[in-house]
Amino acid sequence: MAASRFHLLLVLSLTLCLCHFPDNTWAQLRQNYYASSCPRVESIVRGVVQNKIKQTFVTIPATLRLFFHDCFVQGCDASVIVASTATNKAEKDHSDNLSLAGDGFDTVIKAKAAVDATPGCKNKVSCADILAIATRDVIALSGGPSYPVELGRLDGLSSTAASVNGKLPQPTFSLNQLTAMFAANGLTQTDMIALSAAHTVGFSHCSKFANRIYSFSRQGPIDPTLNRTYAKTLQTLCPKNVDSRIAINMDPNTPNTFDNMYYKNLVQGMGLFTSDQVLFTDSRSKPTVTKWATNSQAFQQAFITAMTKLGRVGVKSGRNGNIRQDCAVLA
C-alpha cells in the first residue's frame, strides 16, 4: 500500500511539474544555426540596429519590449509584428500592444530587408530569429551584456488580438501574479526578477502609474511604498489630466543605459510600477533585488540565462511555422 501511494505521489508530482513548462519545441534551436545558409546574418542585423539607434534611442526599448510581448503570446514567432487585415485583428492591435513603439517593428523589418538583400540569404532567415538577434544587440549596444543567441525559430502562422488576452503582465501585478505568469512560460521567479530589469531603459505613459501618485487608497493618494521625493517629481512630470501621450523615463537615473540601476532604484523606493516596487517590498524577492543592486555581474549572468530561456518559449517548427517574406504579412 505504501509503495503504491508513493508511486501515485511521484506520478502526480511529475505531472504537476511538467504542466507548468512549455514543451521542448525549442530543441531545434542552436547557436550558429545559419552558419551554412546565411553566415553573416548576425553582423547584418547588428549593422541595421546600429543605424537605427543613431536615428533614435527609442530603438532600444522598443525592440526589447517587442521581443517580450511576442514571446509571451503564442511564443517567440514574430506574430506580434503581423499587421491587421480587413478580416483579422492582429496581436499588435490589442490594447496591451498599442503602446509598442513603431521603431521596434521598423528595426525588424529593415533588418529582414537587409538580410534578404544579401546573396544566398533571401528567404532563409525567419523574422522571429531576426527579432531575437536584434534584441540581443540593443541590450549590448546600450551597455548591457552580449550573449550568444540560439537560432532556428520559424515564424508563426497566426496572429489574433484575442490571443493576447491575459498573457501579458500588468503594471499593477502582485508578486504572485507575476510569478504565475512567468511560470506559465517556463520561467522561474528569479528569471522574472531578472527580466524585469528591461525597465532600466525606456519610458512609460503617465496613465500606467497615475493611481500610485493620485488615487492609491483611502488612507492616502500616494502609494506608501513610493519614495516621497520621487512621487512629487512624478506629479510634476505627470500633472492630473495630462495629455495621455506624455511619457517619462522608467529609470530616472540612467535611462539610456542597460544596467543594474533598476534594482538600486527599487531599494530607494523608486520603482515606477507597482509590479516593479513589489519586487523589493515582498520579502520573497527582496534578497535577489538587494543582491543585484550591488552585484552587476551576478545580475548580468542571471539576465543572460533568463533571456535564453525566454527565447525558447513556444518556438515553431515543421508544419507549425514558416519563413515569412514580409514580417508583417502571414504567408
Instruction: Tell me which residues are annotated as active site.
Output: 69
Q: Which residue type, as a one-letter code, is found at position 113?
A: A
- Residue whose C-alpha is closest to residue 134's, from 58, 64, 55: 64
End-to-end CA distance of the chain: 57
DSSP 230-268: HHHHHHHHS-TT--TT-EEESSSS-TTS-STHHHHHHHT
Cα separation of 22 and 35, whole Å?
28
Q: How far apart are CA 321 and CA 29, in angstroms?
A: 14
Count of residues in the chain: 331
CB contact at 8 A, 316 and 156:
yes
Task: Give the SS3 label for residue 284.
Answer: coil
Packed helices 41-55 and 102-116: angle between N→C axes, nearest 10 degrees: 140
Q: Count CB neighbours of 216 within 10 A.
A: 18
How is residue 272 written as a grid cell?
A: 515606477
Q: How many CA atoms lie within 13 A of 136 on its CB side?
A: 23
> Which of helix, strand or coil describes residue 326?
coil
Label residue 153 left, alpha or beta by phi (over 0 means left) and psi (-120 to 50 means alpha).
beta
Strands 155-156 and 203-205: unpaired
Tell which phi-psi region holds residue 107, choosing left (phi > 0), alpha (psi between -120 and 50) or beta. alpha
